[in-house]
Amino acid sequence: MTSSFRQIDPPQRLLMGPGPVNAHPRVLRAMSADLLGQYDPEFTAYMNEVMGLYRPVFGTENRWTFLIDGTARSAIEASLISLVKPGDRVLVVNFGRFGLLLTEILTRIGAEIRTVDAEWGKTVPLDELSAAIAAFEPKVVATVHGDTSTTMAQPLDGFGDICRQAGALSYVDATATIGGMEIAADRWGVDVVTGGLQKCLGGPSGSAPITISNRAAEHIFSRRHTELGIQRDDLEQGSGARIGSNYFDLAMVMDYWSEKRLNHHTEATSMLYAARECACICLEEGLPNRFARHAKAGKAMTAGLRAMGLTVFGDDTYRMTNVTGVYIPDGIEGERVRTRMREEFEIEIGTSFGPLQGRIWRIGAMGYNAMKHKVLITLGALEAVLRTEGFSLPSGAAVDAAMEAWGA
């Protein structure tokens, strides 16, 4: 039967949607390195290096900065299930699909949830959030930083401070922004921040960086109940409620990443290599330079789309630098355009969800793809497809406008 299957040979597509994006070649090369045993001193040294590399990426000095094995959602779920027990009050900042995801996960945990909402395309003002915290008195406040469903970024300066003043722990999902927009966990005063590799970090999905404050770590360890088969005399058990997942039990995962090397799971070796290389590339480029490159790419993409006569979605003030939403013109079949972009130009752009499904495309320029020539190629291809689909637009204006915006 195996003779009927060919070797994997995927098309060389340019992934210009909201993620995943094309991985950096260095990351792919790192993933091909030989495997090591999880307690090999060479491998545990790599684990320690990963912790050190991701502290500046997260803008933190937190000791507890490491990886969760799984896609970005694994770190989201690990954070929430380790911070929240059934019946705890949690306030969720909701301005798009992924705020709704936080609510979905918390509902399954059994939390008492209240949301503070913004219309898709806008964000929640800090004073409204502060008032909601004061009224609800939550144990945890959770938000997304950049929600790719709406292409908006929630402002977070002061977010952690108002949570802490109210006695609440704070959680931020930075999957879509880490490595492309500034993440300032310490300055924001946030307790837990999680990310993913597959967007601005320029890696594959499958490993999720996380950073945890000492305050949050103390709370998590108060819930430590090490599984019976790996209990040790040096592992103090917590008096709090047992975390409702074994795989996503951050107390045990943190003991694995500590000097104790608790045998919680077998580390995903090749994904750790990938995550390590992603962080190395970020720091070698320089985080300010990297953020500026993403900002230029987003500015150029937006300028080019507008020069075509298209309407960009959402509030310019809070737009993510790495993903741009644009309305599908009247009379144009959005999925047909996406199909032609993919089949005729080998370029993928994104659709959307919920109230925006069928109304906007989402076009990304992040990580290894936040480059001038890739933005220009994408705009040129979109212009060509739209013209042949009967949309009237000025020839060449998109590329010209993007080039001018990039150099401004």
Both 128 and 184 in one domain: the answer is yes
Both 56 and 186 in one domain: the answer is yes
Is residue 207's pLDDT more than 70? yes
Both 295 and 270 in one domain: the answer is no
Both 359 and 300 in one domain: the answer is yes
User: How would residue 24 be classed by pLDDT, with cut points 50, 70 and 90?
Assistant: very high
Percent of the chain with pLDDT over 90: 95
Looking up residue 339, the CATH number of its domain turns out to be 3.90.1150.10
**Given the DSSP bridges, would you call strands 323-327 and 14-15 parallel, antiparallel or unpaired?**
unpaired
Q: What is the pLDDT of residues 387-405, one digit of tens each?
A: 999 999 999 999 999 999 9
Is residue 260's pLDDT more than 70? yes
Question: Does residue 9 lie within any of the structural domains?
Answer: no
Both 173 and 253 in one domain: the answer is yes
Range of the domain at 112: 25-282
Looking up residue 250, the CATH number of its domain turns out to be 3.40.640.10
- Domain end call among 282, 312, 336: 282
Please state, in angstroms and as integers, the Cα–Cα distance from residue 222 to each residue in 217, 252, 272, 355, following that order.
8, 12, 28, 41
Is residue 408's pLDDT more than 80? no
Both 182 and 199 in one domain: the answer is yes
Both 230 and 261 in one domain: the answer is yes
Which pLDDT does position 377 carry in this prediction? 98
Is residue 173's pLDDT more than 90? yes
Both 144 and 197 in one domain: the answer is yes
Question: Does residue 192 lie within any of the structural domains?
Answer: yes
Is residue 1's pLDDT more than 80? no
Both 277 and 298 in one domain: the answer is no
Question: Does residue 1 lie within any of the structural domains?
Answer: no
Question: Does residue 2 lie within any of the structural domains?
Answer: no
- Domain end call among 282, 314, 343: 282
**Given the DSSP bridges, would you call strands 152-153 and 146-147 parallel, antiparallel or unpaired?**
antiparallel
Question: Does residue 4 lie within any of the structural domains?
Answer: no
Both 270 and 391 in one domain: the answer is no
- Domain end call among 225, 250, 282: 282
Read off the amino acid at residue 318: Y
Q: How many domains is the chain built from?
A: 2
User: How would residue 174 be classed by pLDDT, with cut points 50, 70 and 90?
Assistant: very high
CA dist 58 and 53 (Å) reads 9
CA dist 343 and 13 (Å) reads 10
Question: Does residue 12 lie within any of the structural domains?
Answer: no
CA dist 229 and 189 (Å) reads 37
Question: What average pLDDT does the chain have?
Answer: 96
